[in-house]
């Protein structure tokens, strides 16, 4: 609960580090500092160590907040709505206990069925994504993510997409249900904590008024759900009639969820309708059920000790919560896929080469990083079975002619010394070069224009025309390690949109990466067999970077998808020394 540590100044940071060391020496875990506190509603614990002025309702939702003020507001809001909490932790400065620790704890905690997170940052994003994915597979996680930092860029290149896109990718890939505000958090978590997951997207709407029912239908469709024509029981329908209709829908194999929209009538009252819905919702064949009692201000009418039917003030809000819950259910049912695991001996050999390259101080920049040359890059990618188009490095026109003869005409001639993302616009690429004289002429023109930027020059085999893609690997401080896919070649600078996935990347992740990219539809239309080849490049490249942390960035541009293959024509790799986490191990919560 104390403040005045790392959030204040360097002296506070030093004091915080000493506090952590002291706690670990004595076998303790530290929450905070600069945190609101901890709550555990388990009757065997009964801990309420916060400044919050209310006692939360005991329940099965775990809550983590990085802001104490927001955490207090969530506790008070959940209490007013009757949402029960199993535990609450405000992590504050996260000097020791972090959000990742809490995710692990909730994964094993039999008293927690749903997790709610208020996030301002991810701490260790790589660990977060792996732990969150494991938790989401068995228990839903609902998160509000606010704030953002700008990820760094490599030599000004647009290798990364915007922070919002990367955050969205992380949350989607890990199965976290992202909401925009606290109200949506309560709505979504209320459904997840109190109703079974929908088996599909088919929704039945039961109502006694057409107007709000059609609002519900439109909102459901906006969330890619499949509502049937609303069942209007008429404005004087009794509470028993509502219950009978809902029971019939439970028995219908074509119904996955039920949304009840009730407008108060002259002969029927909220309490009677609520009691009837509570009773029918206890049936063993009940499917996901939510309700909108228009105008009702009595929170808790649809809940008793047996069941809680989530209630919403407006049909659109009910549809939104149902849409998010259904998306999560679909994610959980989907196949996980398999990540590529490189051969241990090949990776061990590649790691030795990487260490040798990084020990060569003459080829490091002022930050201790190294950009690999063509030959070195080829050697590194070969560790995971990836080959670039046949190519040779040359130093003059005569060498270019010899290389072209060995490779076989026609060839491409490229300037290897350019820093720019696109060599083409700088005049650094000559394509479809036939014969010795054309090679000499092209070499001379390029050298005259580019000077030292020409070297080392590269002679490369020509490949068939196809879809040009750009693949990137990056380590970002904001969301962790990621792979990107977008339009490649000369258009890469103009078409900045890229799809994103975070490590580990499975074959299913790679397919989604292709689906969401600007090149996916082009490949499916012109070269469907090329999708598998591109998917293979993506998973192998991600597996390589995941196994060798010294790889800071990789850029393949372009990778040309044609004739059922994905040919790598240009590689750029940035290496740097990896600094492992030297903090002493800690006990689990």
User: What is the SS3 assignment for 176-188?
Assistant: CEEECCHHHHHHH
* Digit-coded pLDDT (tens) for 444-472: 999 999 998 899 899 999 999 999 999 99
* Digit-coded pLDDT (tens) for 351-409: 999 999 999 989 999 999 999 999 999 999 999 999 999 999 999 999 999 999 999 99
**335-388+464-589: which CATH topology?**
D-amino Acid Aminotransferase; Chain A, domain 1 (3.30.470)
What pLDDT does residue 416 have? 85
Range picked from 393-397, 497-501, 576-580 for highest mean pLDDT: 393-397
What confidence category does residue 420 fall into, taking pLDDT thresholds of 50, 70 and 90? Answer: very low
Q: How far apart are CA 274 and CA 499, in angstroms?
A: 46
What pLDDT does residue 7 have? 86
| Sign of the torsion formed by the C-alpha atoms of 65, 71, 77 and 80 | positive
Considering only residues 322 and 3, tell me which one the structure prediction assigns the higher pLDDT.
322
Beta bridge partners, 396, equal none
What pLDDT does residue 122 have? 81
The overall average pLDDT reported for the chain is 91
What pLDDT does residue 151 have? 38
Tokens standing for 473?
A: 């690997």
Considering only residues 550 and 7, tell me which one the structure prediction assigns the higher pLDDT.
550
User: What is the SS3 assignment for 493-524?
Assistant: CCCCCEEEEECCCEHHHHHHHHHHCCCHHHHH
Range(s) within the chain of domains with CATH label 3.40.50.261: 10-192, 196-333
**196-333: which CATH topology?**
Rossmann fold (3.40.50)
Q: What is the CATH number of domain 390-462?
A: 3.30.1490.20
What pLDDT does residue 123 have? 77
- Encode burial over 345-375: b for 16+ CB neighbours within 10 A, e otherwise: eebeebeeebeebbeeeeebeeeebbbbbbe
Whether the pLDDT of residue 61 is over 90: the answer is yes
What Cα–Cα distance (Å) separates residue 329 from each residue in 8, 311, 341?
A: 43, 20, 28
Range(s) within the chain of domains with CATH label 3.30.470.20: 335-388+464-589
Q: How far apart are CA 449 and CA 426, in angstroms?
A: 9
* Digit-coded pLDDT (tens) for 139-177: 999 999 876 444 333 333 444 444 777 888 889 999 999
Helices and strands (H and E) in the chain: how many = 17, 24
What pLDDT does residue 124 have? 81
Q: Answer for the pair 446, 454: CB distance below 8 angstroms, yes or no.
A: yes
Range(s) within the chain of domains with CATH label 3.30.1490.20: 390-462
Q: Which of 150, 171, 172 is nearest to 161 (CA)?
A: 150
Lowest mean pLDDT: which of 119-123, 132-136, 222-226? 119-123
Q: Give the pairing type, strands 551-562 and 467-476.
A: antiparallel
Q: What is the CATH number of domain 10-192?
A: 3.40.50.261
| Sign of the torsion formed by the C-alpha atoms of 483, 453, 394 and 562 | positive
Instruction: Say which residues have a Cβ less than 8 Å from residue 187's Cβ, sequence separation at least 6.
Output: 179, 310, 312, 317, 318, 320, 321
Q: Sort 180 into a burial class: Cβ within 10 Å, 0-12 / 13-18 / 19+.
A: exposed
- Encode burial over 91-118: b for 16+ CB neighbours within 10 A, e otherwise: bbbbbbbbbbbbbbbbbebebbbbbbbb
């Amino acid at each position: 609960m104390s403040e005045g540590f790392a959030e204040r100044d360097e002296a506070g940071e030093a004091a915080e580090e000493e506090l952590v060391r002291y706690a670990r020496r004595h076998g303790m875990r530290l929450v905070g500092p600069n945190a609101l506190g901890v709550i555990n509603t388990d009757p065997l614990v009964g801990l309420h160590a916060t400044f919050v002025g209310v006692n939360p309702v005991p329940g099965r939702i775990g809550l983590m907040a990085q802001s104490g003020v927001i955490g207090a507001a969530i506790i008070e809001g959940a209490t007013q709505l009757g949402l029960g909490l199993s535990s609450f932790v405000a992590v504050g400065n996260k000097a020791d206990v972090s959000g990742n620790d809490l995710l692990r704890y909730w994964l094993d905690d039999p008293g927690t069925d749903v997790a709610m997170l208020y996030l301002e940052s991810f701490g260790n994003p790589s660990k977060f994504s792996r732990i969150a994915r494991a938790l989401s597979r068995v228990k839903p996680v609902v998160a509000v993510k606010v704030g953002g930092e700008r990820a760094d860029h490599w030599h000004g290149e647009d290798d990364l997409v915007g922070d919002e896109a990367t955050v969205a990718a992380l949350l989607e890939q890990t199965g976290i249900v992202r909401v925009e505000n606290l109200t949506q958090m309560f709505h979504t978590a209320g459904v997840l904590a109190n109703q079974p997951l929908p088996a599909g997207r088919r929704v039945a709407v039961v109502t006694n008024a057409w107007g709000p029912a059609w609002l519900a239908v439109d909102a459901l469709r906006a969330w890619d759900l499949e509502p049937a024509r609303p069942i209007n029981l008429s404005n004087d329908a009794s509470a028993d009639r509502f219950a009978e209709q809902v029971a019939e829908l439970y028995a219908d194999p074509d119904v996955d969820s039920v949304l009840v929209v009730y407008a108060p009538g002259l002969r029927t009252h909220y309490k009677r309708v609520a009691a009837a819905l509570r009773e029918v919702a206890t049936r063993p064949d009940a499917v996901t059920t939510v309700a909108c009692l228009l105008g009702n201000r009595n929170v808790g009418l649809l809940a008793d000790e047996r069941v809680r039917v989530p209630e919403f003030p407006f049909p659109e809000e009910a549809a939104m919560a149902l849409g998010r819950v259904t998306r999560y259910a679909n994610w959980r049912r989907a196949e996980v896929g398999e990540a590529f695991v490189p051969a241990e001996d090949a990776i061990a050999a590649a790691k030795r080469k990487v260490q040798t390259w990084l020990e060569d101080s003459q080829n490091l920049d002022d930050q201790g990083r190294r950009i690999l040359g063509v030959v070195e890059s080829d050697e590194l990618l070969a560790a995971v079975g990836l080959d670039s188009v046949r190519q040779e490095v040359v130093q003059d026109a005569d060498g270019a002619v010899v290389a072209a003869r060995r490779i076989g005409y026609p060839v491409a001639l490229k300037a290897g010394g350019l820093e720019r993302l696109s060599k083409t616009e700088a005049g650094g690429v000559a394509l479809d070069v036939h014969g010795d004289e054309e090679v000499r002429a092209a070499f001379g023109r390029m050298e005259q224009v580019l000077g030292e930027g020409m070297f080392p020059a590269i002679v490369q085999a020509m490949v068939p025309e196809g879809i040009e893609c750009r693949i990137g690997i990056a380590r970002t401080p904001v969301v962790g390690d990621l792979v990107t896919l977008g339009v490649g070649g000369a258009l890469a600078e103009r078409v900045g949109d890229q799809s994103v996935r975070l490590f580990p990347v499975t074959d299913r992740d790679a397919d989604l990466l292709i689906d969401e990219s600007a090149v996916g539809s082009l490949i499916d239309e012109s070269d469907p067999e090329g999708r598998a080849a591109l998917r293979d490049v993506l998973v192998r490249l991600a597996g390589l970077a995941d196994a060798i942390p010294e790889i800071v960035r990789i850029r393949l541009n372009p990778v040309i998808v044609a004739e059922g293959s994905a040919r790598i024509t240009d590689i750029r790799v940035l290496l740097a020394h990896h600094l492992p986490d030297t903090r002493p191990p800690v006990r689990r919560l």
